Amino acid sequence: MLTIDLTGKHAVVAGVADDGGFGFAIAKALAEAGATVAVATWPPALGIFKTMLERGKFDASLAMKDGSKLTFSKIYPLDAEFDRLEDAPAELRESRRYKDLGDFSIAGLAAAVAADGGADIVIHSLANGSEVKKPLLETSRKGYLSALSASAYSNVSLVQQLGPHVRKGGSFISLSYMAAERVVPGYGGGMSSAKAALESDARVLAFEAGRKWGHRVNVISAGPYASRAASAIGFIDQMIDYTRRNSPLTESITAEEVGATAAFLSSPLASGITGTVVYVDKGFAAMGIAVDKEGAAPA
């Protein structure tokens, strides 16, 4: 019987701040497959996340299939907009939420992971667009570049700096969305551009990191899902409803399905897969015309 076995593997999931998103679901799936899992959390959310864990607010979500409870080996601070600590403005480094965290940059994460023995799996579950509600025609240069920095270049930096500390044959996975390829009105502020860059970069990184370290680099393009972060877009429920009504499979996706896909891609079963975008969207990306419109072909 083929099984997803990650026993003895160490994973770092960057972008976990609650129990409601893809990052958490991926962390749990990796743990269910036997991996030891650490997470990296944005400093402004770090204190609340740790408090919620300590008070048992996530206990139901942390419950594993074997009756045990998911625990994180480490919770690292990470602000992925900064490659090095000195890149962060002094006022930010000295602010209340940052000043006691040490090196919260991507280089700081890489150093901490190296000090903790390295890793085998790295998950990039990071995205932010300060002007995501603005049409592209109204997006400022600052907002556009900020979206690319936080959502796309952060993955380049993650592979660049953690690559040497990931054991040969390691797996890097990032999370994208169909707006990388098609127009999704309302998904603005440069976020569609950032997702397109994320996917393009992954192909190049797959070649470069594969030749340099033997690592694999893949992308999961998930369908719309009402995580707390995605809800900030403002019309996530309509996105989910439209996708459900026009997909080959009419159920909404679950975070668990994305987690299971990440566990597979991180495992030896996927050793021949790299530079690939895997769609977890009930087949919506395969559709060329809506089927819930008058005059459309019958289902």
CA distance 1 to 131: 48
Known catalytic membership, residue 242 = no
SS3 141: helix
The one catalytic residue among 177, 225, 242, 279:
177
Task: Check if the beta carbon of residue 245 is closer than 8 Å to that of residue 202.
Answer: no
- The amino acid at residue 101 is L
Residue 187 is a catalytic residue: yes
Q: Which of 10, 12, 59 lies closest to 158, judged by CA?
A: 12
Instruction: Please answer whether residues 36 and 62 qualify as being in contact, where contact means their C-beta atoms are separated by less than 8 angstroms.
Output: no
Q: Which helix (H) or strand (E) holds 117?
A: none
What is the DSSP secondary-structure string of 77-130? Answer: E--TT-SSGGGS-HHHHTSTTTTTS---SHHHHHHHHHHTT-EEEEEE-----T
Residue 205 phi, psi (nearest 5): -65, -35
- Choice among 76, 187, 225, 242 that is catalytic: 187
| Tokens read off for 128 | 């932010």
Name the residues annotated as catalytic: 177, 187
